[in-house]
Amino acid sequence: MRIDLHMHTNLYSPCASMKPEELAATALERGLDAIVITEHNNFWKPDELNALRVQFPGLKIFNGIEVTVEDGDHFLVFGVINPDAFWFGTPLSELVANVRKEGGALVFAHPFRYGDKLPRGFFDYEYDGIEVMSSNTLYYMKDKTRELRERLKLPGLSCTDAHSTGSIGLFATDFFDDIANEGELAEAIRKRRFRLYADRERIEKINSDLEKRVKLVRELIDKGMDEAEVKKVLKESISFVKGVARGLDLRLVYIEE
């Protein structure tokens, strides 16, 4: 069962451009069996989720959340649907405690995206996985993510972290069992009943086109434009523009397992 575990819409994530209906329709077109909508620090209300399910009966749609902890890092939570359990800036200790209390699964999202440091007290807790492939998991993060995963002996998960339809289908996680609800999903993650999926052909095409995009951004920066102006002119994400400005390797990571 192919599931994308990390996706955003413009309903609750201001950084996302796609409507929920666009997300669901594209997920079906690209062969996904299920999706998890993980808005930033917000759960969908049950009636909203059920309305989308009615529109797209061929796609299983699960509720999840991406929580920003007090140090700014992000964690994906599965199997917990309690709007009072998490908030922007949740202390890591409370995040872990609430996930464990309610029998959920906790995954560290795109490690080292924002810098080399980990959240304070990170090694004091146990996690269920690390996101190792996504549209926001890039080559400059690869080695440190691998080292962290090996140190913690955790499985990797593959998700798109989609904010627009373009990345849907690039990455996903193939589960060995049929997943019926959020609780079963969390259990399957905890039991490591999955393998990684990536569309290697599309990823290689994106990486081969990257040099042209980087060159355009660099030219505008060299002409004196600030990062916000470059973002507006080229319609690139601000994280991409910042990455070019820092000279980072922005290729998508592909891992064979």
Q: Determine the residue type at 83.
A: P
Q: What is the pTM of this model?
A: 0.93
What is the average pLDDT across 54-58? 97
pLDDT tens digits, residue range 113-141?
888 899 999 999 999 999 999 999 999 99
pLDDT tens digits, residue range 199-252?
999 999 999 999 899 999 999 999 999 999 999 999 888 888 999 999 999 999
Answer yes or no: is pLDDT of 102 > 90: yes
The Cα 16–Cα 162 span in angstroms is: 8
The Cα 49–Cα 182 span in angstroms is: 13
pLDDT of residue 238: 84
Residue in 141, 79, 132 with CA at minimum distance from that of residue 108: 132
Q: State the chain's mean pLDDT as an integer.
A: 95
pLDDT of residue 257: 62
pLDDT of residue 115: 84
Secondary structure (H, E, C), 233-255:
HHCCCHHHHHHHHCCCCCCECCC
Answer yes or no: is pLDDT of 38 > 90: yes
The Cα 98–Cα 82 span in angstroms is: 9
